[in-house]
Amino acid sequence: MSFFAIVEQYQDFDFTGFFDRVTDAEVARSLSREKLSAMDFLTLLSPRAAGHLEQMAQRAHRLTLQHFGRTVQMFMPLYISNYCTNGCAYCGFNHKNPILRRTLTLAEIEAEARAMAATGMRHVLFLTGEAPRVTPMAYLVEAARCLKRYFASVAIELYPLSVDEYRQLAEAGVDSMTLFQETYDQEVYRRVHLAGRKRDYHWRLDAPERAARAGLRGVNLGALLGLAEPRRDLFHTGLHARYLERTFLDTEVAISLPRFNEAECGDFRPDYTVNDKTFVQFMTALRIFLPRAGMTVSTRESAEFRDRILPLGATRYSAASSTGVGGYAHKPAEQTPQFEITDTRSVEEVAAAITAHGYQPVYKDWDAIA
């Protein structure tokens, strides 16, 4: 079975009508249930539930403490290539954008790894654009092996791979993957993905499942909030995470909450915006629906906002992020990031802020046992 079977179940669902009919009593009932159904979750995503945000925040806080304690796992991203064959309307790496393209050599990857590890960080996420001829499997495997010498945890955010390809990376030291569907709305998906391999909705949708079948310890998924109707996309994100939790009992499932951040190149504007209050509603609804799921809030968000939402469900924070190629050992004079960073604090500053709020920043939270 593919998660697409569940997507199809809601293809003709009247989300607008459902939201219009939600009452305060129904929100209260959903909040009172120990385990939420899909419709309870959708109720908590409704505009009506925004009036119950304090109660949602309190329950999300309790559940986060129960399952994760007062810890926040930290990581750094490393872009090793920005070559891409896709024509995503919203992305700075769009193949039509006249930006400086670059792929790190293995020696450059090692130099970046040394600089990143010097901060004390032991979790890294390495990323590429989607250009398999430029970053083939042999290159990715060697990059993973190189990074594994410096980091306890090596995660990937790459183009979708086959089960066998994910298995090769697992054998090279990769333990988890991130991949965003961007939007679960198939019509919008086709409209914003204009060229390249990423036009294949189904191949991308099933990638987290293939990674789990290959034996990766963790999968992280999400939708880019603003591309399509965000409540509907968050609903599908939550259902996708629950499907993976139920299908792969030994796999850690996590969710990222990226809000649309204007692309560096081009004039794309999203159809929707998600304000801070709605973001918090989404975050707390996800935590109540999926108490054991990890939750990542990246440096797309401001330092002040990330500090404020610490108690509400976040379990993973990126820090000192560079969203151009490399950027830690050497920062080129001309560099086009995939998206703009808002929280520009150093690793030490992010860790100090986490500590100041009564939480423990975790640089390393596991080791593989041979």
Instruction: Output phi, psi for 130, to 5 deg.
Output: -105, 85
pTM for this predicted structure: 0.95
Mean pLDDT (the chain, rounded): 94
Per-residue pLDDT tens digits for 110-143: 999 999 999 999 999 999 999 999 999 999 999 9
% of the chain residues with pLDDT over 90: 86
Best CA proximity match to 292, nearest among 258, 309, 259, 315: 315
Does residue 352 register a pLDDT over 50? Answer: yes
Query: Residue 263: which pLDDT band, with cuts at 50, 70 and 90?
Result: very low
pLDDT for res 367: 54
pLDDT for res 262: 53
pLDDT, mean of residues 252-257: 97
**Both structure tokens of 50:** 């925004």
129 and 157 Cβ atoms separated by less than 8 Å: no
**Both structure tokens of 255:** 């969710």
Best CA proximity match to 80, nearest among 120, 108, 117: 108
DSSP single-letter state for residue 301: S
Domain boundaries, the chain: 4-362
Query: Residue 268: which pLDDT band, with cuts at 50, 70 and 90?
Result: confident
**Residues whose CB falls within 8 Å of the CB of residue 66, separated by 6 or more in sequence, listed in order:** 291
Does residue 337 register a pLDDT over 80? Answer: no
DSSP single-letter state for residue 114: H
Name the β-bridge partners of 317. Answer: 74, 297
The CATH code of domain 4-362 reads: 3.20.20.70
pLDDT, mean of residues 297-302: 92
pLDDT for res 336: 65
pLDDT, mean of residues 63-92: 94
